[in-house]
Amino acid sequence: MLIDESRLSRIAPQANERARTFVPALNEAMARHGIDRPLRVAAFLAQVLHESVYLRRTVESLDYSAAGLARVWPKRYRAADGLPNLLAIELAGQPESIANHTYAKRNGNGPVESGDGWRYRGRGLLQVTGRANYQAVAAGLDLPLLECPELLAEPPAACLSATWWWRTHKLNALADAEAIDEIGSLINTGRKGRVPIGAQERRQLWLRARAVLLEG
């Protein structure tokens, strides 16, 4: 067993309420995709605990105010004066409409009216987003995610999608090198060198996980 409830609780007490549900799925998924050494497990847990808000969020929250839309997607929802534009004001507080507008014609999604933005919104421990990405994960794991996208919100597929993405992007090598900041950059921004959101928390989680897992 790569992680148990006791160790997970020591790494992140905030995850206590979800530990029993997720520990079996985490162990199976990590073993399947080569996350099988303390440094790899520590790096992986640090990232997924942050991304999923301590295993409590496996579906993307899109309940934004107009100001929130302008802040998160300024090119799409911010007016020239820096305030929310008319579309942001119109969509505010409507998660399904926000998803369909924001993700339309991106990552393999169809137009707004296709509903793909909402159907294939972020799910899983690392927030798989968009039809093309769902399709890639579905092929990699042999799961019917295009037909049943909600499967990605359940612990088994949520964990497997994260470990599959990790292996596909060769993050075990970075974990072995203890390059935790580079891992966070790739997961959160898609590129090395950029500062990820929550960089400090990711590093603190990694340090705790590393200490707990290396003590034997």
Mean of all residue pLDDT scores within the chain: 95
> Does 76 lie in the same domain as 50?
no
Checking if the pLDDT of 119 tops 70, the result is yes
pLDDT in tens, 125-181: 999 999 999 999 999 999 999 999 999 999 999 999 999 999 999 999 999 999 999
Does 54 share its domain with 70?
no
Same-domain pairing of 197 and 170: yes
Q: Is residue 153 part of a domain?
A: no
Count of CB atoms situated within 10 Å of the CB of 98: 24
Task: Look at residue 115 and tell me if it is in a domain.
Answer: yes
pLDDT of residue 216: 61
In terms of residue numbers, what domain contains 88?
66-119
Structure tokens of 42? 């520590």
Domain count, the chain: 2
**Domain check: are 49 and 71 in the same one?**
no
